[in-house]
Amino acid sequence: MRTVDPAQYQNRVRDFDFDMIVGSFGQSQSPGNEQREYWSSAAADLKGSRNVAGIKDPVVDALVERVIQAPDREALEAATRALDRVLLWGFYVVPHFHSTSYRLVYWNKFGKPEVSPKYGFGFPDTWWVDSEKVAALEAWRRTRN
């Protein structure tokens, strides 16, 4: 292991000058064109691309195109599952972290919908300032001083 400063680290990642790094591959519920940047052969040699594993595999390339060109949700899910299996089979990454919870600190002054989004906690898009909770919080603060 070698410790480097942030600028050197960024340069090494951009130039693919490393043996192993810690990273993440953020995904959405509807994968698309970004998959080329993560997994395609064309991106493997493109300096600064997100294909940090250097994957060059015609099967992966074909599956990425199937994901991108999927005509409906069923085809998208099938292509995505196939791509996932091929990537797992190639051992390109070592999964090492997963959390089923979000760590969030906030003052209890927000109202939230009864049903939360399937992924995420909805803040700040679905929360609102609850005037009763604000009043209770202010009353509590006054007793603390």
Vertex 54 angle, CA 39 and 33, to 5°: 20
- Average pLDDT on 44-55 reads 93
Binning pLDDT at 50, 70 and 90, where does residue 104 land?
Answer: confident
Q: What are phi and psi of 110, to 5 degrees?
A: -110, 145
Q: What is the pLDDT of residue 6?
A: 94
Task: Indicate if the pLDDT at residue 130 is higher than 90.
Answer: yes
Identify the band that residue 106 occupies on the pLDDT scale cut at 50, 70 and 90. confident
* Cβ(127)–Cβ(107) below 8 Å: no
pTM over 0.85: no
In this predicted structure, what is the pLDDT of residue 65? Answer: 98
Distance of CA 41 to the CA centre of its chain: 21
**CA end-to-end distance (rounded Å), the chain:** 50
Is pLDDT of 62 > 90?
yes
